[in-house]
Structure 1
């Protein structure tokens, strides 16, 4: 996966932060749209037939013969108009023939992550677009036949490459929170915090789309850290913004105090979500149509900080129309960080170790502990000195 550019975070252009609602360790912060437009709508696509789920298979540039496989509960159908006219939101139920699905050992196979179904309609798989990009990161493996790498690594790259995630329904308290929380009139998304750690950011184009897809949060993927936090923490403290009565003498003063309180709350919440709102992200454009771009993104992979990946639809003016993010665990960040460093130094172990400020044996141990021991020849790992860490 190659990134087109690096720029600041998602931001909140066109969105407003509303007061949070908390249940147990889960805190949902509603995102409201300032000006609702009607020229972009998002619905769901249900798979018609006896098997309601599918597995997506797709090669990529580094290894076109290698398949990407994943469980798909549903897909999204994006509908738009190029001239700004209103678009009706509706779901779709397509047959196997229309979807281009075939049966393979009792599993349905879908060949494209993003596909234009008809003029003005695009089908894509939520979160799989970004996760596929993460899994394919330097998937091809060593680009030079260094003697330390195994025959498997030189021939097949990082195969297999697997990462774990938890279904939203397994995150303790999330399903109850989604069921009970109030949906605001202009709400198009939410910031999802678990134990006050940002778990996900979700945005849809239209308030009606959000209402229809609000409960789909429990079918999204969440990282290992989010799953653990939901178990370890029973609740989160209430966040209150004070309004000083002594400073209020009339309605104008009250309005000004409320405006300040809302600004303070917005700044505080944005700070909690700085990992996706403010920190630099690397972007790749996947599809462009009319004034909209479907893009996936990933943090700069800083091992000691929060790191996220996700996908977004942005209007030409920079307004965020759709977004879903996934918080990477520390182990996932370490694996991706090591792969990036190796790729930056053409998979030369000595140069990579020097860039990381460690000796080669220590780098080999880090690769083994990260699950990449299969990339190296057996005798290379066996000859590690006993004190290597």
Structure 2
């Protein structure tokens, strides 16, 4: 995906992403583990349905900029203002008839990442809201024209920015797992693990929405780290509950023991397996207000060598998650985000940023080049950094 986007005003909020959702025991297929998320009561006054595009798309962004990526589908949110149940409008994944192969894919053009189509209907591009937020990170480039930055960096910033991802259909085992796994009663979401590394979280308002949107997970984008784990790692163990017969004398006691096992699994999952997502302090940007609901996207703190997830969410007036979709960044993507954040924090002054990181300016400049930002520096400056590094290593 490629972005020609704008920097955005950010605000930091809490990270209670799974508020109102309960974890249920997962199912395993090879290296894939799917962990269901259920609600005690479904959200009735907000519903989601897919709008199928099926190919590459271009999205117009503010400031005569654009975003280009594979966009298989959009989501349409329907809501009511009086709390009455909303219906999923026009839900359709396919015609049910065999599709003829096509020689070319039609390029789709979209106006904005999120666009209101009717008074109580919003079309948005799932996951791409989050990805564009990452690509637009400090997109404007150097805030001060220090002499080390190239003319391109000062005039165009980071335009264009590009990142690569894998289609879910190319992640080994994922399509089979989604096809054969049972959907839990009341299920409104799922956490997708590859080799027990959290790859994605997906939450919707209503169980009926989830049944319709469950197959779209194979059309989503996944990071290269997730793809490598699925390809190279062995099958993961299944966590099975074991209840001893000691002290069990009635069906009520057996039910209580089963509930305890379920609670222990949920605590272990939330505190250990999902800690990388649930424990990060996200930076949020509001995208659209829908009466009592708010569509937002978030960025992680870009912690090197730790889990870092970008995502988007719809929350209600109490901050509870109604919709959620996340993407796990690779280590290289985390490094790029970390470097840009540190540069911005020091007004894009190379020496000051290098000092904070505990390295010299030449090492930092070469680190920028390794991260893919070498074009932002003047060539003579890069050559000087290389010469200095070579002299140090002699």
TM-score by length of 1: 0.91
The 3-state SS of whatever aligns with 1:86 is coil
Which residue of the partner structure matches residue 46 of structure 1?
52
- Give the Cα separation in 2 of the matches to 1:361 and 1:267: 47
C-alpha distance after superposition, 1:8-51 (max 9, x if no partner): 3234222111111100100000111111232110001235xxxx
User: How do residues 2-13 of structure 1 correspond to structure 2 at under 5 angstroms?
Assistant: 2=8, 4-13=10-19
1:30 aligns with 2:31: no
Q: SS of the residue aligned with 1:141? A: coil
Q: Residues of 2 paired with 1:211 and 1:291: CA distance?
A: 25
Deviation of 1:54 after TM superposition, in Å, equals 5.0
Say if 1:77 and 1:92, in contact at 8 Å, map to a contact too.
no
Name the structure 2 match of 1:185: 185
Residue in structure 2 matched with residue 118 of structure 1 by the alignment: 118
Shift in Å, 1:92? 6.5
Q: How does 1:113-192 map to 2 (within 5 A)?
A: 113-192=113-192
Q: Note closer, same or farther for the CA distance 1:92–1:187 as it changes in structure 2 (3 Å cut).
A: closer
Please say if 1:216 is aligned against 2:216. yes
The aligned runs of 1:1-389 (5 Å cut-off) are: 1-2=7-8, 4-47=10-53, 53-60=55-62, 64-91=63-90, 107-270=107-270, 271-384=272-385, 385=388, 386=390
In the superposition, relative to structure 1, how do residues 273 and 3 fare at CA in structure 2: closer, same or farther (>3 Å)?
farther
Alpha-carbon distance in 1 for matches of 2:252, 2:66: 62
Structure 1 unmatched runs, 5+:
94-105
Separation of aligned partners in 2, 1:206 and 1:388 = 61
TM-score normalised per structure 2: 0.90
Deviations 1:154-180 (A, max 9, x none): 110112211111100000000000000
Compute the displacement of 1:88 (Å).
Answer: 1.2
Aligned-residue Cα RMSD (Å) equals 1.8
Give unmatched runs, 5+ long, in structure 2. Answer: 1-6, 93-105
Q: How many residues align?
A: 371
Distance 1:382 1:79 in 2: 56
User: What's the offset of the Cα at 1:218?
Assistant: 0.3
Query: 2-side partners of 1:298 and 1:244: how far apart?
Result: 45
